[in-house]
Amino acid sequence: MTKKINYKLVPLWISIEKLTFKPKYELVPFWNEINLFINDLEYKKSEDFLLYRKINTFLCHGPAGTLYIIKKALGMQKLKVFISFLLDYINNESTPGHYFPSYVVLNQIEQIKTISNLIDFDSTLNEISKIMHENHGDKNAKGWQSSEMLVEKRKDLLTRKKLAQALEMSQTTLWRVLKDHQAIAKKYKLKPCPTHRNYAGGRKYYLAEEVQAWLNYVDSFNLKQKS
């Protein structure tokens, strides 16, 4: 029986040996949230979550990073060329030289198709965008919004007169309430009353739900300061 020889690792293999140990990663808040979803049985059964997870993987791993590298290194025009190439690559699937979907991908497509009529894709992207903003400290961000979402929001934009009617106040009362609350917000460095303009310097418009939520927010903060 031969005796086992104890070899000493050269520096290169010492480095490689260290790399073989599984590191312990601490999840940032965004991925903590995703991790909770993954452990939720209801979400595991949801095809909607499958799409949500796929988009997050695209954004937070290699694919979005590759697009960013092309844009920054070669310019926006070359990125558009690459996207054109990419669309051709996936539009002619299962033909030589193009994308060939695996059985797993085909199965996932069928899963998502079963609830496609229930998915508001624009809102899904908006929610993902909000989480991204929150992960970077902006908890009040509206997130990315499609042109359709912006058009839909414009339908609900109100002048101050219409806003007073929506909040069931007179215009004079509304003006006084907004002025008082804006003074409190300025004093405590809170966010200002949310307004919308069609162009810089243009007329102010309001969303009734946003203004009411802001009024409640300022009132709540002011009461805490007084207590």
For residues 60 and 135, the answer to whether their CB atoms sit within 8 Å is: no
Model pLDDT, residue 198: 65
DSSP string, 108-168: HHHHHHTTGGG--HHHHHHHHHHHHHHHTT-TT------HHHHHHHHHT-B-HHHHHHHTT
Q: Enter the pTM of the model.
A: 0.46
pLDDT digits (tens, 9 = 90+) for 86-128: 999 989 887 888 888 888 889 888 888 887 777 778 777 877 8
Q: Which residue numbers in the chain have pLDDT < 50? A: 1, 22-23, 25, 27-28, 38, 41-47
CA distance 139 to 174: 27
